[in-house]
Amino acid sequence: MMAPSIRKPTSHPAPRTQHPEPSRTFKVVLAYDGTDFSGFQRQSNARSVQQALEEALAPIEGRAVVVSGAGRTDSGVHALGQVASFKLSNAISAPDLKLALNAAFNATSSTDVRVLGSTAIGL
């Protein structure tokens, strides 16, 4: 009688995990004419500055981007120096981001919003 053979476990490579691209936080300084906006904060039933900025960022990032405002304005209120922030994994530089956002606003007839400055924050 033969001794039962002992099977060695087969060695499988460890599953590969995909690491998301590191994200960077950007701060933008905005100016806008609030006449046609319901305010800064996104609303389900009206146009907002936050929505316009998120829509301009989506093609740059290739996915939806959530914007946080440093403050809010009411309907019809203008701003010069409104600060907002968001995270991007895109390797775009801060000066190129400013140009890309303003180009996106021009392309969509959102000429009532302008990015005055853009800064990468953090490490």
SS3 10: coil
Q: How far apart are CA 18 and CA 36, in angstroms?
A: 43
Q: What angle do CA 94, 95, 98 make, to 5 degrees?
A: 90
Q: Which member of 33, 74, 96, 112 is catalytic?
A: 74
24 vs 22: CA distance, rounded Å: 7
- Asked if 74 is an active-site residue, the reply is yes
Task: State how far the alpha carbon of 118 is from the alpha carbons of 4, 56, 93, 106, in Å.
Answer: 71, 14, 9, 17
What amino acid positions are annotated as catalytic residues?
74
